[in-house]
């Protein structure tokens, strides 16, 4: 259970009255002159995210008024946990338009803090939910916090080995099988592109291919793939400093995959689940892959490295080929793949790509249900030949004329992806600015919607 959400508390809990703007007048008509006056004095108008602590006779906090605005978006409750002082609270009233579980979810996501490197930090508020079964919601909150912790952890403390250890820990918890191919064994194991991208890193940061399998073989095979670049210097086509600054987050796809995998395993979804997580550092050394090098790939297609900074699609090429060997009914990949995705849609709206119309529609529906926005972009065939190489089967940096970098990256992946249902998510995994409930730094995207999709499809 998430530490932010409790089934019961042994201390007194403060009641929260969550009010939409439309409910405010009738609510204020039902309370004492004192509270009504206090709310007016403090300008409480139930605007989305407004928090007002109301005092009792002794001057201590007796209750909380929380504004829900138009009452349509439960995610405003992220701001509540970010703004409340430390203590235990319970929800006394909330607008009929909202679902209790969604509120709990938002409270849990909004209360996330990354304090690993802070000498002191406050425990923060907790929501007590007596009598409610919020097990599933708590698992989602917990999984998202794991992904965010991984993404926020600096590359110096989270390399490919640390990702492996986290994956091994998870496998142990859920009784999954795990196999890891490390360093030069990637060559004999036929993951040449994973090896090429990661081979320049120091030996204790050697590249590796992590494969975790869980669930009965009788269940449908679902494969999740995630980009695990623990740091992206850009390689020899080195990134400018501003761009490199955030590249500890380039394993965001891998963190998302572990989080989604954990949701699936923790809720015992009847699927045969495989997690494929290539974990590498895109480093610079005498052994680094060079611009112009031609790599082999697991699929057998040769890849010309036009730019060593387009490394994510290289490791995903091998991982997606592996996915196809597992007879998947569904393959999903998540990756912080391109800066172009952010240019197209900004940091809050990750694009997804699939040619499966039914899957596309279901992703959209489930994402909306989960209040976890995504936006479809096309696998536009007109840009496929922007990936043509003069000397190899394909190249990793598309011609400039095609411009749409997130689309051409997705088209590159499509060459390697299974022919059965496949969708690719080009996530940003980051809040560039802090808002109450959205701490700056790591953010999860798409996986809550995808969890809904997996639950709908397979349970």
Token digits for 434?
Answer: 């802090």
**Nearest distance from C-beta of residue 34 to Zn ion, angstroms:** 57
Q: Is 313 in the active site?
A: yes
Catalytic residue among 36, 239, 376, 457: 239
Nearest to ligand BES of 310, 359 (CB atom): 310
Q: Which strands form 303-304's sheet, in the order they lie side by side?
A: 294-295, 303-304, 394-395
- Is residue 23 at the binding interface for Mn ion, with CB under 5 A as the rule? no
- Is residue 405 at the binding interface for Zn ion, with CB under 5 A as the rule? no
Question: Which of these segments, 33-41, 308-316, 327-335, 424-432, binds Mn ion (CB under 5 A)?
Answer: 308-316
- Is residue 232 at the binding interface for Mn ion, with CB under 5 A as the rule? yes
Nearest to Zn ion of 232, 281 (CB atom): 232
Token digits for 367?
Answer: 């994402």
**Nearest distance from C-beta of residue 430 to ligand BES, angstroms:** 7
Q: Is 368 in the active site?
A: no
CA separation for the pair 265, 308 (Å, rounded): 36
**Nearest distance from C-beta of residue 260 to Mn ion, angstroms:** 23
- Is residue 309 at the binding interface for Mn ion, with CB under 5 A as the rule? yes
Site string for Zn ion, 137-156 (x = CB under 5 A): --------------------
CA separation for the pair 240, 225 (Å, rounded): 28
Catalytic residue among 248, 313, 395, 448: 313
Nearest to Mn ion of 316, 411 (CB atom): 316
SS3 call for 453: helix
**Nearest distance from C-beta of residue 441 to Mn ion, angstroms:** 20
Contacting residues toward ligand BES, per CB under 6 A = 232, 243, 250, 307, 309-312, 336-340, 342, 397, 405, 428
Nearest to Mn ion of 272, 342 (CB atom): 342
Question: Which of these segments, 262-270, 310-318, 339-347, 380-388, binds Zn ion (CB under 5 A)?
Answer: 310-318
3-state helix, strand, coil split of the chain in percent (to 5) is 40, 20, 40
Nearest to Zn ion of 69, 312 (CB atom): 312
List the beta bridge partners of residue 424: 333, 353
Buried b (16+ CB within 10 A) or exposed e, 100-124: ebbbbbbbbbbbbbbeeeeeeeeeb
CA separation for the pair 270, 279 (Å, rounded): 27
Residue choice 69, 159, 207, 312 for contact with Zn ion (CB under 5 A): 312
Best CA proximity match to 254, nearest among 188, 170, 186: 170
- Is residue 426 at the binding interface for Mn ion, with CB under 5 A as the rule? no
Torsion of CA 356, 194, 227, 173, to 10 degrees: 100
Token digits for 364?
Answer: 């959209």
Render 12-53 in DSSP notation, one character per residue. --EEEEEE-GGGHHHHHHHS-HHHHHHHHHTT----TT-EEE
Site string for Mn ion, 256-295 (x = CB under 5 A): ----------------------------------------
**Nearest distance from C-beta of residue 309 to ligand BES, angstroms:** 4
Nearest to Zn ion of 48, 335 (CB atom): 335
Name 96's Cβ contacts closer than 8 Å, sequence gap at least 6: none
CA separation for the pair 114, 147 (Å, rounded): 11
**Nearest distance from C-beta of residue 188 to Zn ion, angstroms:** 26
**Nearest distance from C-beta of residue 260 to Zn ion, angstroms:** 20
Best CA proximity match to 283, nearest among 320, 338, 337, 229: 229
Number of residues in contact with Mn ion under rule CB under 5 A: 3
By CB under 5 A, name the binding residues for Zn ion.
229, 232, 250, 312
In the complex, the residues that contact Mn ion under the rule CB under 5 A are 232, 309, 311
Task: Please list the active-site residues.
Answer: 239, 313
């Amino acid at each position: 259970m998430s530490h932010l959400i409790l089934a019961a508390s042994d201390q007194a809990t403060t009641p929260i009255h969550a009010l939409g703007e439309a409910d405010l007048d009738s609510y204020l008509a039902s309370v004492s002159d004192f509270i009504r006056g206090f709310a007016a004095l403090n300008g409480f108008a139930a605007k989305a995210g407004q928090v007002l602590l109301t005092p009792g006779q002794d001057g201590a906090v007796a209750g909380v008024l929380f504004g829900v605005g138009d009452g349509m978006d439960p995610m405003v409750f992220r701001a509540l946990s970010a703004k409340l002082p430390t203590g235990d609270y319970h929800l006394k009233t909330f607008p009929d338009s909202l679902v209790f579980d969604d509120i709990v979810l938002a409270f849990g996501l909004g209360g996330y803090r990354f304090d690993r490197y802070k000498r002191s930090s406050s425990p923060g508020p907790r929501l007590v939910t007596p009598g409610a079964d919020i097990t599933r919601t708590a698992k989602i909150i917990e999984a998202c916090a794991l992904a965010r912790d991984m993404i926020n952890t600096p590359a110096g403390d989270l390399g490919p080995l640390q990702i492996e250890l986290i994956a091994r820990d998870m496998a142990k918890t859920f009784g999954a099988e795990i196999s890891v191919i490390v360093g030069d064994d990637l060559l004999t194991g036929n993951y040449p592109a994973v090896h090429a991208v990661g081979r320049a890193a120091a030996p204790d940061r050697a590249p590796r291919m992590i494969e975790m399998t869980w669930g009965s073989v009788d269940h449908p095979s679902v494969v999740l793939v995630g980009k695990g670049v623990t740091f992206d210097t850009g390689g020899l086509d080195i990134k400018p400093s501003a761009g490199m600054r955030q590249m500890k987050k380039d394993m965001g796809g891998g963190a998302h995959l572990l989080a989604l995998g954990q949701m699936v395993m923790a809720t015992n979804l009847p699927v045969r689940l495989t997690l494929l997580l290539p974990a590498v550092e895109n480093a610079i050394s005498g052994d680094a892959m060079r611009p112009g090098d031609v790599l082999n790939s697991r699929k057998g297609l040769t890849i010309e490295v036009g730019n060593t900074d387009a490394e994510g699609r290289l490791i995903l090429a091998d991982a997606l080929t592996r996915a196809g060997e597992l007879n998947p009914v569904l393959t999903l990949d998540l990756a912080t793949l391109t800066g172009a995705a952010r240019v197209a849609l900004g940091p809050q709206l990750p694009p997804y790509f699939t040619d499966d119309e039914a899957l596309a529609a279901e992703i959209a529906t489930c994402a909306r249900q989960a209040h976890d926005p995504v936006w479809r972009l096309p696998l536009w065939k007109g840009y496929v030949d922007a990936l043509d190489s003069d000397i190899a089967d394909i190249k990793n940096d598309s011609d400039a004329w095609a411009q749409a970098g997130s689309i051409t990256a997705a088209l590159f992946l499509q060459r390697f992806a299974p022919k059965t249902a496949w969708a690719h998510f080009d996530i940003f995994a980051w809040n560039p600015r802090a808002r109450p409930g959205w701490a700056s730094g790591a953010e999860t995207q798409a996986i809550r919607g995808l969890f809904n999709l997996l639950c709908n499809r397979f349970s």
